[in-house]
Amino acid sequence: MLSRVDRLPGGVARLASAVPDEDIIRCLHLLVATVMDVTGASTPEVRDVIRQWRQQGSAEPAGVASLRVVAAQHDFDSFAHQRRGDTDRQLDSFRRARAVDCVLAAMSVSTAAEAPRTALREAAYEAAAALGGTAGVVGVLADYVA
């Protein structure tokens, strides 16, 4: 059965599968940094949780929970903007929600005992949604593939 990342164009699934095991965590860090930078979803609170994850290899459960709340709020905002017919703000909120979901997927190696490769594939999918396409994701993944 195909996973979500397998449905993306641009060879994202192939690249995610080709990242060497020893580079997956570094790749996740770069993917998260890219998505946060491009989408503007980063806030001081989000940055604190990401910083803890990057420096310590994990994040406190309260920090992870706060990220889930942020993602849910962006999803709700997206829905509200859609109902009002404001497609620009809907898309912005949707992409911010996907950016935070990318962070959560990346952190799932340590927060949910997810296999690193699975976390990378899920984070890549969410990153593509957050970035509005696969080009940025392909660029990050390709940096780690020989």
Q: Does residue 64 have a pLDDT over 80?
A: yes
Q: How confident is the model at residue 146 (pLDDT cuts 50, 70, 90)?
A: confident
Q: Residue 86, SS3?
A: coil
What pLDDT score does 123 carry? 98
Mention every residue, 6+ apart, whose C-beta is less than 8 A from residue 7: none
pLDDT digits (tens, 9 = 90+) for 37-48: 999 999 999 999
Q: Does residue 1 have a pLDDT over 80?
A: no
pLDDT digits (tens, 9 = 90+) for 83-120: 999 999 999 999 999 999 999 999 999 999 999 999 99
| Of 26, 46, 23, 24, the residue nearest 36 (C-alpha) | 46
Using an 8 Å Cβ cutoff, are 133 and 12 in contact? no
